């Protein structure tokens, strides 16, 4: 497999590189992993979300927040301080489940193990219903929880012969700004929900990143 550690980039460049990974995995039949961050606070929208329906664009401009469309589905994610991961692999990779939930968990397994290696007692989530535009509000069965709080938000895209999964590992958060940027939400309620259901990880970023690389190399060797 190939692993890349990228410097902070714009949302547009980050999503372009993730999409290029998917195409390369399809063409070269190889596994590619990338860890990266963002050069400014950015809200990424799922492929089917429309910014004019989801975002207060004037509020984003006021707070210096950018937005970008992901090549994957899912809901809005606020990228601030985090480790973002992306994995692309052939659809026929050994033991990769064909079902969406099974594939999410399969691809997330080295992340789960890296958390444990970093002394974070994580567990797999049960399915919950999410009726808002915010990704982190409700975990699905493939999501990773710490003390009942969601700490990774992931999304996936499949083409004929390859799969891309990427997601955010929160190191810090700004729920107040995120809530102001979203349309048709009760700001105070959303802030309370985000604080209740999500968690910022109190772990050294470089230690966690080292453990993530180690577990991905081991898992896809």
Question: What tens digit of pLDDT does each residue of 43-52 get?
Answer: 999 999 999 9
Beta carbons within 8 Å of 1's beta carbon, 6+ residues apart:
30, 31, 32, 33, 216, 217, 220, 221
pLDDT at 10 over 90: yes
pLDDT confidence tier of residue 216, bands split at 50, 70 and 90: very high
CA dist 205 and 130 (Å) reads 29
pLDDT at position 132: 54
**What phi, psi does 79 have (nearest 5°)?**
-100, 120
* pLDDT tens, position by position, 167-183: 999 888 899 999 999 99
Domains and CATH numbers, the chain: 2-219 (3.30.930.10)
pLDDT confidence tier of residue 100, bands split at 50, 70 and 90: confident
Instruction: Provide the token pair at 3.
Output: 């692993």
Q: Are 134 and 38 in contact (CB under 8 A)?
A: no
pLDDT at 131 over 70: no
Which residues are marked as active site? 135
Q: Of 85, 77, 39, whose CA–CA distance to 208 is shortest?
A: 85
In this prediction, residues 155-169 reach a mean pLDDT of 95
Report field, pTM of the whole predicted structure over 0.85: yes
Element (H, E) at 165: strand 162-170
In the chain, what percentage of residues exceed pLDDT 70? 93
Strand, coil or helix: 5 = strand
pLDDT confidence tier of residue 153, bands split at 50, 70 and 90: confident
pLDDT at position 193: 87
pLDDT at position 203: 86
Beta carbons within 8 Å of 184's beta carbon, 6+ residues apart:
133
In this prediction, residues 93-115 reach a mean pLDDT of 95
pLDDT at 136 over 70: no
pLDDT confidence tier of residue 108, bands split at 50, 70 and 90: very high
Other C-beta atoms within 10 Å of 210: how many? 14
**What phi, psi does 12 have (nearest 5°)?**
-60, -45
* pLDDT tens, position by position, 50-98: 999 999 999 999 999 999 999 999 899 999 999 999 999 999 999 999 9
């Amino acid at each position: 497999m190939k692993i890349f550690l990228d410097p902070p980039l714009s949302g547009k460049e980050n999503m372009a590189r993730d999409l290029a990974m998917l195409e390369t995995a399809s063409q070269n039949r190889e596994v590619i992993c990338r860890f990266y961050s963002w050069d400014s606070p950015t809200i990424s929208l799922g492929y089917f979300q429309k910014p004019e329906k989801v975002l207060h664009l004037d509020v984003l401009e006021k707070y210096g927040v950018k937005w970008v469309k992901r090549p994957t589905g899912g809901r809005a994610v606020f990228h601030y301080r985090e480790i973002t991961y992306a994995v692309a692999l052939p659809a026929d990779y050994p033991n990769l489940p064909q079902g969406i939930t099974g594939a999410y968990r399969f691809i997330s397994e080295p992340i789960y193990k890296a958390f444990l290696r970093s002394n974070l007692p994580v567990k797999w989530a049960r399915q919950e219903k999410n009726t808002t535009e915010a990704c982190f509000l409700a975990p699905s069965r493939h999501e990773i929880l710490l003390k009942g709080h969601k700490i990774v938000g992931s999304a996936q895209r499949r083409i004929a012969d390859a799969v891309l999964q990427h997601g955010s590992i929160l190191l810090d958060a700004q729920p107040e700004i995120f809530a102001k940027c979203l349309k048709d939400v009760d700001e105070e309620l959303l802030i309370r929900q985000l604080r209740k259901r999500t968690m910022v990880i109190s772990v050294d970023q470089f230690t966690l990143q080292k453990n993530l690389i180690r577990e991905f190399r081991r898992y896809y060797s």
